[in-house]
Chains A and B, each alone.
Chain A
Amino acid sequence: MTVRGLIGAVSSLMLVLAMLGAATRGFTALTSDTARSLDVASDPVQLPAFALTDSRGEAHSLTDTHRSTILDVVYTRCVTVCSELGGRFQQLQSNIRSQGMFDRVRLLSITFDPSWDTPARLQRYGTLLRADATIWTFAAPPSATALAPLLQTLGIRVIPDGRNGFVHNAALHVVDPTGRLVAILPTDAIDEALRIALQSAPPRTVMP
């Protein structure tokens, strides 16, 4: 093989490695979900401003409570991944309560189907899941389109399944008290989510 042949071979190999590296975020992520988690972990992102209405019909905002938030995105008609998320959040709620962390961490479930998920339906959904209103809030955006910037930042993609339902990826999102997204975790990583939420939560208030 000539020198030029060698140059050709080596440069094509380097180009292939560069392309595969670019596609996989430097060989760290095969899927966009993994890539998003890694991006947020290294560079927390300020979430875009968005208005919410909670299950009592009152205006609610992410930073209202001055606590860290563990956030998930659901819809009440979901029969698949959202019920798993609901179970995880129940476990989180019970951990938060038993560890006495309710003044520092709270849970927020946002629906991406506000046309169906009215405050009354959200209230019913919360009751079904035995949500404690001091720890776990359910809320809806004014419209599905208003939620789009948030979904994009969270890396959530919603695909209608053609049967009045949706297919969507799911994760636990940890947001600090100032509204910065600090972690995206798989739905079974509840201990990790709580740990990260506490890290960015305000310090425990010392009782006088």
Chain B
Amino acid sequence: MLLCATLASSVLERSMPWHMLVQFPLLFCSGMLFSRGIGRDAGADVADHYDAYGIPGLLLASGVVASWMVPRALDAAVEQSGWDALKVISLVAAGALAERSWRRAPAVVRAFVAGNAVWMNATIGLLLIDAPDRLCASYTANEQTITGYTLVVITGILGTAAAAAGLRGLADRPEGGASSARDRCHSFADRCRRHPPV
């Protein structure tokens, strides 16, 4: 997936909608898959302490994505391959970091992050639609408007799906799904390991 995104980067970056709305998610998701492939590793116990409730990690991951969505940054990535390489590496890393922090995050943090991401991206989409001038020197006004509308539509769909999943999760809670039970067992086992009962 990563290979596809990087190889196709010159093609994807020629058009704003493809660059922001296809390449970015591809890179981010490949990071997530990579992290899931590694699973819980030796460093995770240490990281657990610094990444309280997954908040720092998720904050950092969204900060990376937001920074690359700044028009000046997008232009830099299109114009110079050095910046582009940095963008690819940082987006993949952000995806990996987000996956690991998501696992640590309790439901309320996840809900906050998901909700925040939805309204932030929808707002960016609206700004792109409404902007009187071209924000990126590398892309046409038409592409800017298309990107704006697509972003609003995508965040609308994803936001609704996330809300539905969240509501379903709330409804399921009394019985406790299998995964959450497993998590509770694991965290209990971890605590026993770290603080063995006297």
- Give which listed residue, B52, B62, B64, contacts A8 with CB less than 8 A: B52
| Known A24-B72, A30-B71, A30-B135: A8·B63 in contact at CB below 8 Å | no
In the complex formed, the residue of A with least CB distance to B68 is A23
Shortest beta-carbon distance, B80 to chain A, in Å?
11
Query: A13 and B59 in contact (CB under 8 A), knowing A8-B49, A19-B67, A155-B137?
Result: yes
- Contact between A9 and B56, CB atoms less than 8 A apart: yes
**Binary contact track B180-195/A, C-beta < 8 Å → 1, others 0:** 0000000000000000
* A31 in contact with B136 (CB, 8 Å): yes
How far is A33 from B138 in the complex, measured between Cα atoms in Å?
A: 11
A20 → B minimal CB distance (Å): 5
Q: Which residues of chain B come closer than 8 Å to A169, judged between CB atoms?
A: 134, 137
A9 to B140, CA, bound (A): 39
Knowing A23-B67, A32-B137 are in contact, say whether A11-B76 is a contact too (CB < 8 A): no
Enumerate A75-108 residues with CB–CB distance to B below 8 Å: none
CB atoms of A25 and B72 under 8 A apart: yes
Interface size class of A (residues with CB under 8 A): 20 to 34
Interface residues on B, range: 20 to 34
Q: Is B66 an interface residue (CB 8 A)?
A: yes
Residue pair A2, B59 in contact (C-beta under 8 Å):
no
Chain A proximity of B145: nearest CB distance (Å): 13
CA A118 to CA B56, docked complex, whole Å? 60
Contact of B70 among A2, A6, A20, A33 (CB under 8 A): A20
Contacts of A33 in B (CB 8 A): 137
**Cross-interface CB contact of B72 among A11, A23, A159, cutoff 8 Å:** A23
0/1 interface trace, chain B 33-64, chain A, CB 8 Å (1 if under): 00000000000000001111101110110111
Q: How far is the CA of A169 from the CA of B51 in the complex (A)?
A: 44
- Residue pair B60, A15 in contact (C-beta under 8 Å): yes
A167 near B140: Cβ-Cβ < 8 Å: yes
Residue contact A7 to B140, C-beta cutoff 8 Å: no
- A2 to B51 Cα, complex, angstroms: 10
Nearest B-chain residue to A16, judged by Cβ: B63
Interface centre among A6, A15, A33, A34 (most CB of B within 10 A): A33
Q: Which chain A residue lies CB-closest to B141?
A: A167
**In the complex, which residues of chain A have a beta carbon less than 8 angstroms from the beta carbon of B134?**
167, 169
Q: Are A32 and B71 in contact (CB under 8 A)?
A: yes
Q: Which residue of B is nearest A161, CB measured?
A: B140
Q: Do A12 and B70 have beta carbons less than 8 Å apart?
A: no
Residue B75 CB within 8 A of the other chain: yes
List 18 A-B pairs, Cβ < 8 Å: A4-B50, A5-B49, A9-B56, A12-B63, A16-B60, A16-B62, A16-B63, A20-B63, A20-B70, A22-B67, A23-B73, A30-B71, A31-B72, A31-B135, A157-B79, A159-B140, A161-B140, A169-B134
